[in-house]
Amino acid sequence: MGKVVAICHSRPDGDAIGSLLGWHWICQSYGIDSLPMCPDPIPDYLGFLPGTESLFVFNPTDQNPAELLLNEAGLIVLLDFSRRNRCGDELSALLAKANCPVWCIDHHPEPESFDALFHDTSASSTSELVVRLTSEPCTPQAAMCLMAGLLTDTGRFQFATSPATFQAASILLNSDMDYRCLTDRLFEQESLQTLRLRGHILKDKLIQSPDLPIAWIELSFQDSKSLNLKSGATEGWVNFGLAIEGNQASFLLHEKEEGITRISFRSKNQVEVNRFAEKYFQGGGHKYAAGGRFEGNSAAALQFLLERVHELF
């Protein structure tokens, strides 16, 4: 059989990379020839995870190596996404041409169909699902990656958790992983510059609605350039607005490329953002955590959003 090629979604987060590398380490421990493939470069803050050096990063300007790998694969496994276009137009086009079985392990709602689908929207993370699939204790490397997925998708075990989440965490802690080292690397090692940047965002960019329990951060293309925002730099910022007492929803609008604004949605209690993201912003996701996009600058995106946001309440 050819390689098992595992793929995560574009603009990968901690669970995408964590489940991808965790899966890869588990394959390795079974002696399975595995290749983890990522549609975009790995964000800096996840670069310490074991196995990143074996990641194949898709290059849209030279697609031949990826095409060859997918054509020769014996099995393709999609992790942390279940709608094929979530790995980007170019890579999903190559995926459509591959002629081996495609499996999917994911916790996002409304999956497409696959040769095998291991799917549970009540799972905190895809990393949790990967742990459920493994019967034996895993290696410290696999545990490190999967725990990173659990920690990041649950906001350090604050939301989307269930007893199964803690069971998965318990299994991972039973390996020889260094948990304190992981939390330190993930959450307690930021540059002074990054901390100061967060201070600036909290002080000058976080805006509270005067009449609704919502807050938002709008970052224009100009802000992106002047603040020198690198990939992954805005990770977690959408939660700032939800941390304000009484708020029910929060939005981060980021015009990363000129004229295209990416939007992150977070909510709690009775307010569910995935349908709203789907209806107006070509997006979707979980009830309380979704994403989408808007063709236009961030100011236009914000205006469009604010004109419709009352529908959430």
How many angstroms separate the CA atoms of 273 and 232, rounded?
22
E strands in 92-221: 102-106, 116-119, 206-208, 214-219
What's the token pair of residue 207?
């805006």
Is residue 106 at the binding interface for Mn ion, with CB under 5 A as the rule? no
Is residue 128 at the binding interface for Mn ion, with CB under 5 A as the rule? no
Rg of the chain (C-alpha set): 19
User: Minimum distance from CB of 11 to Mn ion (Å)?
Assistant: 12
What's the token pair of residue 77?
């496994």
Applying CB under 5 A, the span of 120-128, 247-255, 279-287, 304-312 interacting with Mn ion comes to: 120-128
Q: Which of 35, 50, 75, 80 binds Mn ion (CB under 5 A)?
A: 80
If the CB atoms of residues 105 and 249 are measured against Mn ion, the closer one turns out to be 105
If the CB atoms of residues 80 and 218 are measured against Mn ion, the closer one turns out to be 80
Write out the binding residues for Mn ion, residues 17-36 only, by CB under 5 A: none
Which bin fits 110, alpha (ψ -120 to 50), beta or left (φ > 0)?
left
Q: Closest CB to Mn ion belongs to which residue? A: 15
Binding-residue pattern over the window 141 to 180 for Mn ion, x denoting contact by CB under 5 A: ------------x---------------------------
| Sheet of 102-106, strand order | 56-57, 34-38, 4-7, 75-79, 102-106, 116-119
* H or E, element range at 29: helix 14-29
If the CB atoms of residues 15 and 40 are measured against Mn ion, the closer one turns out to be 15
If the CB atoms of residues 7 and 201 are measured against Mn ion, the closer one turns out to be 7
Applying CB under 5 A, the span of 74-82, 181-189, 195-203, 258-266 interacting with Mn ion comes to: 74-82
How many angstroms separate the CA atoms of 287 and 266, rounded?
9
If the CB atoms of residues 120 and 272 are measured against Mn ion, the closer one turns out to be 120
How many angstroms separate the CA atoms of 51 and 284, rounded?
30
Q: Which of 6, 11, 12, 15 binds Mn ion (CB under 5 A)?
A: 15
Point out which residues bind Mn ion (CB under 5 A). Answer: 15, 80, 125-126, 153
